[in-house]
Amino acid sequence: MDQITVNQNISAKSSPLNKDKVKFDYMTITIFSMVSIFALIATPLFGYFYGYSQLDWILFVVLYMITGLGITVGYHRLISHRSFTCATPVKIALLIAGGWALENSALKWCSDHIRHHAKTDTDEDPYNAKKGFWHSHVLWIFIKDQNPGGREKYKAALRKDKWIMWQDRHYLAVVVSGLVLPFVIGFLHRGWIGAISAFLLAGVFRVFLVLNSTFFINSICHIWGTQPYGDANSSRDNWWISLLTFGEGYHNYHHNFPRDYRNGPLWYNFDPSKWLIFSFFVLRLGKKPS
C-alpha cells in the first residue's frame, strides 16, 4: 500500500498537467477553443445551410499555402535555423505570412523552436514528445513557461533583428489582417454571405488546419516514423506529413542537419519549401549561408 502511494505521488509530480506546479495560459486556451469551435462546428453548419463558393475554396487553398510556407520557410528555415538569407522584402513577406498562421510572433515561435533543438526530449524541451502525444501536439501551448528567464537566452539573437521585432510589436495587426483579407474579398464577391463564408473557410478553418499540421511535426514526427539518419533523439521521418506541411515531415534528417535549407534532401522528396527557397537563389533574392 505504501509503495502504491509513493508511485502515485511521483506520477503526480512528473505529470505535465500537475495543477500544483503548472500555470495555465487561459488566453491561449480561449483563443484555440474559439478557433476550434468555429472551425469544427460553425464552418460545416454554414456550409450545409448556405454553401461555399468556388472563390471561397480558392482563397482557402491559396491562404493555406501562403501561411503554411510562411511558417516552414520563414519562421522555421529562415529565422530559427538561418539556413539561408534573403532580400528584406522577401523576409517581411514571410514574417507577415507566418503571422497569418496564428502561431505567435516569430520572436516567440522561433525561440521555442531553437530551445526545442537545443534541449530535445528533455524537460526543457517546450514540446517534449516524451510526455506523450497530446502534450507535444497541443497541450504544451496551454501551459505558461515555468522558467521564462531561461527562455530569454534563446531570444537574445532574435532581438537584434529589427524586422523580427517589428513583427512582434505589430503581431496583433498582422493576425487581424490575415482574417480581414478573406472577409473583404468575400464581401466584394457576394455581400455579407460571401464575407462570412470566406471568413469561416479561408480564415478560421484554414487557421485551424495550419495550426494542426504544424503540431503534427512536434507530435507525430517525434513518435512514429523512421530514423534513417540517426537515433540520438526521438525525431522521425514521415513522408506523408510532408504532404500537409510543405516538406517538414522529413524530421529525422532535419534534426541531424538543422542548417540545411532542405528537409527532404533527395530529389524526389516532396519538399515545396526547399523548392521555394531554391527559387530565391535562382532569382538572386536569397543565398545559402557562407
What average pLDDT does the structure give for the chain? 92
Q: Provide the pLDDT for residue 9.
A: 41
Cell numbers at 16, concatenated? 505535465
Confidence of residue 15 (pLDDT cuts 50, 70, 90): very low
Task: State the Cα–Cα distance between residues 248 and 243, nearest whole angstrom.
Answer: 9
Mean pLDDT confidence for 255-263: 97
Question: Which of 5, 43, 93 lies closest to 206 in space, CA to CA?
Answer: 43
**CB atoms near residue 169 (< 10 Å):** 12
Asked if residue 208 has pLDDT above 90, the reply is: yes
Asked if residue 13 has pLDDT above 90, the reply is: no
Question: Which of 186, 171, 169, 246 lies closest to 210 in space, CA to CA?
Answer: 246
pLDDT tens by residue, 97-115: 999 999 999 999 999 999 9
Task: State the Cα–Cα distance between residues 206 and 260, nearest whole angstrom.
Answer: 29
Q: Give yes or no for a contact between 180 and 156, defined as CB atoms under 8 angstroms apart.
A: no
Task: State the Cα–Cα distance between residues 100 and 173, nearest whole angstrom.
Answer: 10
Asked if residue 1 has pLDDT above 80, the reply is: no
Q: Provide the pLDDT for residue 149.
A: 65
Q: Give yes or no for a contact between 116 and 126, defined as CB atoms under 8 angstroms apart.
A: yes
3 state SS of 143: strand
Confidence of residue 17 (pLDDT cuts 50, 70, 90): very low
Confidence of residue 148 (pLDDT cuts 50, 70, 90): low
Q: Provide the pLDDT for residue 85.
A: 97
Cell numbers 496564428 correspond to 102
Cell numbers at 56, concatenated? 471561397
**CB atoms near residue 226 (< 10 Å):** 11
Q: Provide the pLDDT for residue 34.
A: 97
pLDDT tens by residue, 35-90: 999 999 999 999 999 999 999 999 999 999 999 999 999 999 999 999 999 999 99
Task: State the Cα–Cα distance between residues 135 and 91, nearest whole angstrom.
Answer: 31
pLDDT tens by residue, 156-187: 999 999 999 999 999 999 999 999 999 999 99
